[in-house]
Amino acid sequence: MYRVILILAVFLAGCYPQEQAQEPTGRALYETHCATCHGVGGQGDGDLAGEFGVPVPNLTVLRESNGGVFPYEGVMAQVYGYPGRYHLGLMPEFGPDLEGAQVDLVTQTGQILRAPRALVALVDYIETLQQ
């Protein structure tokens, strides 16, 4: 009898879907894609910051530099890049690295924008770095 219950339990366990792989948090994405240049705190002082011959932008002053409003859509566009075309500056496009599940995002102008969940998480994290 116990053998039948054990076999049934093993069989049923295999019928339930396995847990989905946890998506990286915005902070984890930042640490992977941004911190080496912009620094852990976003102040433009990452390990590679001195390698470019130009200052790496300080991400902690984006809201301050934009009249007190965090330029969410502009940051998304800069991070994502333009598929098939590199930025005119030194920052690479990260769009291909952030593809995956999509979410709806309401923009500052009230439009609904479909964007990769990872991109939204990353920009949400960058917004937390504001002074």
Cβ neighbours for 14, distance < 8 A, ≥ 6 positions apart: none
Domains and CATH numbers, the chain: 24-128 (1.10.760)
Q: Which spans in the chain are helix H?
A: 2-15, 26-33, 35-38, 72-80, 95-98, 117-128
Share above pLDDT 90 across residues of the chain, in percent, rounded to a whole number: 54
Question: In this predicted structure, what is the pLDDT of residue 9?
Answer: 40
Task: Examine the pLDDT at 85 and tell me if it is beyond 60.
Answer: no
Residue 10's pLDDT band (cuts 50, 70, 90): very low
Question: In this predicted structure, what is the pLDDT of residue 89?
Answer: 64
What is the pLDDT averaged over residues 26-52? 95
Question: In this predicted structure, what is the pLDDT of residue 21?
Answer: 60
Nearest residue to 81 (alpha-carbon basis) of 58, 98, 59, 61: 98
63 φ, ψ (degrees, to nearest 5): -65, -45
pTM of the shown model: 0.78
